[in-house]
């Protein structure tokens, strides 16, 4: 039996569109493994940031 396990992908989006957070590193085209920081969420929880990078996006306007 071939069972495929899928992990739920969770993103946190910054309301100012400057930072988006995910734990799935496969989404990134570039990744800075040395980066370390933290952010504070709207519910005052602090989240550790362990890496940062660039994510490719698809612009539907380019399909025309």
Task: Give dist(CA 32, CA 34) in Å, integer.
Answer: 6
Domain ranges of the chain: 11-55
Task: Give dist(CA 53, CA 20) in Å, integer.
Answer: 10
What pLDDT shows up at residue 32? 94
Q: What percentage of residues in the chain have a pLDDT greater than 70?
A: 66
What pLDDT shows up at residue 35? 93
What pLDDT shows up at residue 25? 84
Low-confidence ranges of the chain (pLDDT < 50): 1-2
CA angle (54, 43, 28) in 5-degree steps: 10
Q: What are phi and psi of 8, to 5 degrees?
A: -70, 130
Task: Give dist(CA 55, CA 31) in Å, integer.
Answer: 9
Q: What is the pTM of this model?
A: 0.55
Task: Give dist(CA 64, CA 60) in Å, integer.
Answer: 8
């Amino acid at each position: 039996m071939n069972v495929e396990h899928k992990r739920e992908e969770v993103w946190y989006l910054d309301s100012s569109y400057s930072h988006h957070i995910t734990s799935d590193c496969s989404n990134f085209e570039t990744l800075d493994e040395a980066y370390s920081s933290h952010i504070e969420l709207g519910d005052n929880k602090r989240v550790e940031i362990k890496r940062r990078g660039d994510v490719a996006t698809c612009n539907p306007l380019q399909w025309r």
